[in-house]
A and B are shown apart, each in its own frame.
Chain A
Amino acid sequence: MRQITLGKEGVEKNIIQTLQEKSGVRLSDCYQCGKCSAGCPVAFAMDLKPRQLIRLLQLEQVDEVLKSKTPWLCATCQCCFVRCPNEIKIPNLMEAVRQEAKARHIIPEKDIDKFNNLFLKNVEQFGRSHETFLMGFYNLTTGHLFQDVGCAPKLYFNKKIRIRPHVVKNKSGVKRLFQKTIEKGAK
């Protein structure tokens, strides 16, 4: 059973504030109806359901939330948000929690984090995702060398993946986009 103490001085109120500002979510808007969790396609794998994650933030239980796998498992499918009666942008909140956790080097789902990084690198380099590289590097960096390798020939002959990257026309434009975003984030 989780034990929570409320009313103590010096709780990390500013983290809650940062999360709210970054995500544009007002935590008090949530009245815990549970519609988000009921419709979430990955809720079965989550340690905290989206509703529980918000509840713990309402009770200022930041540590447990930052350690949770939930924000990493969130597929950002937006199903929760479009159905939420209070229009709470839960995927934005998940992203904010993920960033906050990463800043503190709390990464409960390391493979997912690696995949995210590889994916972004990929897009930065080629202007779009190159699946072969992504799959290859993902297997190499995570150490799951032969994960899904059996699918590769079938994908190749069905022309779903190719050896050479398909580069977009304005590659430098995408790079600039990345730069600007990073600059903005640094501010």
Chain B
Amino acid sequence: MRRIGVFVCHCGSNIAATVDVEKVVEAAKTFPGVVYAADNKYTCSEPGQEAIKKAIAEHNLNRVVICSCSPRMHEATFRKTIADAGLNPYLLEIANIREQVSWVHTDKEKATEKAIDLARIAAAKAAKDEELFTSTIPIEKRALVIGGGIAGMQAALDIADAGLQVTLVEKESSIGGKMVMLDKTFPTLDCSACISTPKMVTLSQHPNIELMTYSEVTHVGGYIGNFEVTIKQKAKFVNHDICTGCGLCETKCPAKVTSEFDQGLGKRPAIHKLFAQAVPNKPVIDKNSCLKLTTGKCGICSKICPVGCIDYEDKDKEVTKKFGAIVLATGYELIDWTKLYGEYGGGRYDNIITGLQFERMVNASGPTDGKIVRPSDGKTPKSVLFIKCVGSRDVNKGKSYCSRACCMYTAKHAHQVLEKIPGAKAYVSYMDVRTPGKGYDEFYMRTLEDGAVYVRGRISKIYPEGEKLISLGEDTLSNSNVTLETDLVVLETAMVPNPSAEKTAAMIGVGRDKDGWLQEAHPKLRPVETNTGGVFLAGTCQGPKDIPDTVAQASAAAAKVIGLLYKDELETNPMISKVDPQKCAGCGFCIEVCPYGAIELVDFPDRYQGKKIMRKVAQVNGGLCQGCGACTVSCKPGAIDLLGFTNLQILEEVDALCR
């Protein structure tokens, strides 16, 4: 005998203003199986929950329907409420009369009618609710961090410091990411390398951290608590177990190519460390530029290596490891402005560089030993123009979003020009100055004090004239057209997601937004989680941000990982698919549609024409199944049911609506 209780929530005036709650209660009393119905100002509040518990006890209710907000909001709350009252928590149905009724309708009469319909459907479904029980699965107590920039390093260190094992995978030959390329960091102007390289060393020596540089994740399987990840270790052609990192090979290597780390401003040998303080501080051979590997003629590094660690026969290796949680910290790249901004020369003029090139230039260990020079002739510029929002806030040519860090690093760049070149002029073309951070606006004001001139308007065209670059813009503050004659132009270009993130995200099943940034589960309340259980986000892979925000988010992601991995077992969701082997025809169609790879065909003993036979039937792996229901609709014989959303329940709902 079903004894259903219906509880209708006012949600203050959120629901009650558009829905006649009393009418819904009266209507609910007439639904089949309903023995009790009541309303409440705030059902989710303490008194509201107590009222439910009291009603369950007094009226001996065994199914509960709550007409309130979206189940995403309070399903967990109310499951706990009825569990406290002694009911199985899955004997609960929620009719969403807020997001789907009161918030989207204005006509009170029609809205009330719809609310009653939704309540009736929920009551019909509740009548067929069965008790469900969670099970537990063991958790692999090891975390994987993908990306070795400041976000990945911070997350890995925090997790490792909590006593858990971490594997850090980095695609370059050294960890450090973008931060080690920078010279100074705003707003305190501490040297970027001085604060990041100690972290790199700590990380490489941490007993709980396994560092895998020059490696990429090629396959991710499994589920929260039990991911199976295949990592490809690219051939380094240098045996790092014996290499002492003396650097002799680098000095003798005859193959010189453009340095990616120096943003194309310098050269590097084919056998190289990423930069002087690289961790691990041992070289790798770039197989595309090594003469021995491309032409077969050279081998100098092998001859001069004092310990004989060069191995031209080295091959890519693949290892598969198990992890309980994954932190994505794949970072950003800068937008390629040369393809987008023809009006700025599209890369034809040497003296137009990007902000990251400027960072390498001004960095004491960079290609110019810290001197700001014009790439065309090596002369010191007497005037420099910085252009903000190149690619940012430009729907036509670039991205609609603000890249967040540029306002501050532009102020820093202008400050550095005025500090390093006596008598120099620094101009900044800008639309807004956005400095929302501790000490940020003060930093910007200090740059103005230093003498930087901010011209409010976008530059529309840049062309060379003699040795100078002429930039045409407007100063909207003084209502004048401005012509800027400068020796160097620096474009502060937009951040875009690292291109490798797309593949990695697809492998793990993490969503991406319209611009390709990895999607967090909720922009405000679950900023580091993803919609895939056990996968977390840290740093700029989620959206543009500066170093302080990146580090904060990385630590937040680490806290989530620690919280997950400190449990010994994980409760599984019981609302998963179940196959009735008697009905299953073994067609395997469900296997193809399952996005989680949770279904497989297994042998099933059966009888056919009086004889015992073995036939193939589908079986669901409870750990992998996320309860999406794709298999149930694909199953032609109707052998698969999603527990909590059975075919019978859906039909009952349709019946109730048509009644």
- Asked whether any CB of chain B lies closer than 8 Å to the CB of A58, the reply is yes
Q: List chain A residues, Cβ under 8 A from B485.
A: 5-8
Asked if B242 is at the interface of the complex by the 8 Å CB criterion, the answer is no
A62 to chain B, nearest CB (A): 13
* Residue B453 CB within 8 A of the other chain: yes
Chain A interface residue count, Cβ-Cβ cutoff 8 angstroms: 20
Contact with A along B485-498 (1 / 0, CB 8 A): 11000000000000
Closest to B444 in A: A31
Looking across the interface, which residue of chain B has its beta carbon closest to that of A27? B448
What is the interface of chain B mostly: helix, strand, loop, or mixed?
strand
Q: In the complex, how many angstroms separate the beta carbon of A32 from the nearest chain B beta carbon?
A: 5
Task: Give, as a whole number of angstroms, the nearest-CB distance from B27 to chain A.
Answer: 58
B486 interface neighbour in A1, A7, A55, Cβ under 8 Å: A7
Whose C-beta in chain A lies nearest to the C-beta of B479? A2
Q: Is the CB of B483 within 8 A of A4?
A: yes
Q: A28-B451, A58-B453, A59-B453 are contacts. A7–B477 as well, Cβ < 8 Å?
A: no
Residues of B within 8 A of A56 (CB): 478
**How many Cβ-Cβ contacts under 8 Å join chain A to chain B?**
64
Residue ID in chain A nearest B480 by CB atoms = A2
Complex Cα spacing A184 to B468, Å: 45
Instruction: Specify the chain B residue showing the minimal Cβ separation from A53.
Output: B478
Q: Residue A26 at the B interface, CB < 8 A?
A: yes
Closest residue of chain B to A34 (Cβ to Cβ) is B477
Contacting pair B483 A55 (CB below 8 A): no
- If over half of A's interface residues share one DSSP class (helix, strand or loop), that class is named, otherwise mixed; here it is mixed
Are the CB atoms of B482 and A6 closer together than 8 Å?
Answer: yes
Q: Which of A4, A5, A28, A29 contacts B478 (CB 8 A)?
A: A4
**A9 partner residues in chain B, CB cutoff 8 A:** 382
A7 and B448 in contact (CB under 8 A), knowing A2-B481, A58-B453, A59-B475?
no
A3 B483 Cβ-Cβ under 8 A: yes
In the complex, whether B425 has a CB less than 8 A from a CB of chain A is: yes
Which of chain A's residues have a CB closer than 8 A to the CB of B484?
5-7
Would you give the shortest CB distance from B537 to chain A, in whole angstroms? 36
Apart from A55-B477, A59-B453, what 10 extra A-B contacts exist at CB < 8 Å? A2-B479, A5-B482, A5-B484, A6-B425, A6-B453, A29-B448, A58-B453, A59-B455, A59-B478, A61-B478
- A residues apposed to B, CB below 8 Å: 1-9, 26, 28-29, 31-32, 52, 55-56, 58-59, 61
Q: Which 3 A-B pairs have the closest CB atoms?
A: A2-B480, A7-B485, A28-B448
Would you mind naming 26 contact pairs between A and B with Cβ atoms under 8 Å apart?
A2-B478, A3-B480, A3-B481, A4-B475, A4-B482, A4-B483, A5-B482, A5-B484, A6-B425, A6-B453, A6-B485, A7-B468, A8-B485, A9-B382, A28-B448, A28-B451, A29-B445, A29-B449, A32-B456, A32-B477, A52-B477, A55-B477, A58-B453, A59-B453, A59-B455, A61-B478
